[in-house]
């Protein structure tokens, strides 16, 4: 459904983003740096991925009764925002993709800062909307980035914690990933001229989609991925926090020691995975993700998108569910 959804071709969004980067870059060297980043993101994008950063603004815009073509620059801006955030994540995790091999960390950091703090604002400023609407959109962007920064800080503080509170873990996911997607959805609704209540409902939809999607992705990292970056980095994602909460005394110390071993050894990672599954943490997380799925559907009903975008937005959020396959 998503692959063929009319007008939401991510290829067109990448092309638009590359054109905007090419036009806005202040030097040839900067242009090269930013286009390297964009080409890397495009190469990594899998055919079966939802690519929320590119598709969601288009679907919301069409859902508000506007033409998809008009939202292409905005979708390019949200793609560049996502890219900047993704680069910062990779830097924090020490997990940089191959296309950065020829660049120094300081230069990669500079690319992320430029993608977050200059290009989206410059692109928004070119949109054909009244000044008051543009000011509201710039405010949405600034507040979204502030919320995400706070969420990332919370996430960093949780790494390696011996007693991570599952609610704090979930809160940090909502603040980081939830606010990111909420910002994408709200920007698109505002651009379409939606009433504040409708824009807020789209933001609620995005928040639930982003948070539920990240929680599902965290489960994938631990339970399915060939290499668990989260275990290697000592991240305290929800399955681990839920499990640690149930353990006391010697059991807790043993599991924490196992988590330390799992940073380096595959056998320990397998044992972590086995214990979490046996303790029901995968099922627990699946239920929590389902609550986000249902929260998103409820918000979508309030937003009231037009068809066929409404169906596209339902399909998009169904991708996070363990049970809506």
Q: Which residues bind other proteins (CB under 8 A)?
A: 48-50, 52, 166-167, 170, 209, 213, 216-217, 219-221, 223-225, 242, 277, 279-280, 282-284, 286-288, 290-291, 293-295, 297-298, 319-325
Helix axes 266-278, 238-246, angle to 10 degrees: 70
Q: Which of 84, 233, 246 is nearest to 161 (CA)?
A: 233
- Tokens representing 202? 């789209």
| In the complex, least distance from residue 62 CB atom to other proteins, rounded to whole angstroms | 20
Burial 68-83 (b: 16+ CB within 10 A, else e): beebbbbbbbbbbbbb
* C-beta closer to other proteins: residue 226 or 307: 226
Q: Which is nearer to other proteins, 108 or 231 (CB)?
A: 231
Minimum distance from residue 174 beta carbon to other proteins (Å)? 11
Q: From the CB of 4, what's the least distance to other proteins, in Å? A: 16
The answer to whether the beta carbons of residues 63 and 302 sit under 8 Å apart is no
28 vs 48, which CB is nearer to other proteins? 48
Q: Is the dihedral of CA 58, 61, 63, 69 positive or negative?
A: negative
Specify whether the CB–CB gap between 232 and 263 falls below 8 A: yes
- The smaller minimum CB distance to other proteins, of residues 103 and 277, is found at 277
Decide whether 47 or 102 has the Cβ nearer to other proteins: 47
User: Residues with Cβ < 8 Å from 244, sequence gap 6 or more?
Assistant: 162, 163, 164, 236, 252, 255, 256
Q: Tell me if 172 sits within 8 A of 273, measured CB to CB.
A: no
**Residue 155 or 170 with smaller CB distance to other proteins:** 170
């Amino acid at each position: 459904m998503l692959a063929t959804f009319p007008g939401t071709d991510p290829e067109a969004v990448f092309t638009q983003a590359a054109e905007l980067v090419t036009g806005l870059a202040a030097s040839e060297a900067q242009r090269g740096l930013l286009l390297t980043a964009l080409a890397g993101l495009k190469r990594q994008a899998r055919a079966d991925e939802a690519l929320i950063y590119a598709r969601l603004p288009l679907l919301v815009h069409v859902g508000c009764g506007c033409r998809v073509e008009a939202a292409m620059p905005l979708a390019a801006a949200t793609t560049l925002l996502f890219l900047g955030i993704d680069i910062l994540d990779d830097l924090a995790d020490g997990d940089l993709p191959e296309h950065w091999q020829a660049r120094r960390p300081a230069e990669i950091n500079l690319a992320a800062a430029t993608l977050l703090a200059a290009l989206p604002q410059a692109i928004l400023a070119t949109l054909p909307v009244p000044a008051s609407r543009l000011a509201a959109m710039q405010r949405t962007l600034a507040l979204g980035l502030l919320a995400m920064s706070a969420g990332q800080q919370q996430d960093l503080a949780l790494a390696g914690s011996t007693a991570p509170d599952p609610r704090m873990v979930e809160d940090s996911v909502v603040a980081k990933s939830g606010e990111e997607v909420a910002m994408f959805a709200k920007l698109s609704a505002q651009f379409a001229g939606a009433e504040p209540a409708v824009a807020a409902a789209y933001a609620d939809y995005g928040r639930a989609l982003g948070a539920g999607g990240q929680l599902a992705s965290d489960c994938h990292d631990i339970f399915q991925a060939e290499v668990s970056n989260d275990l290697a980095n000592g991240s305290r994602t929800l399955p681990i926090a839920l499990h640690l909460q149930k353990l006391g005394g010697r059991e807790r110390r043993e599991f924490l020691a196992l988590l330390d071993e799992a940073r380096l050894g595959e056998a320990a990672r397998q044992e972590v995975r086995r214990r979490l599954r046996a303790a029901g943490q995968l099922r627990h997380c699946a239920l929590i993700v389902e609550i986000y799925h249902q929260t998103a559907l409820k918000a979508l009903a309030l937003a009231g998108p037009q068809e066929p975008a409404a169906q596209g937005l339902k399909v998009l959020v169904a991708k996070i569910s363990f049970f809506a396959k």
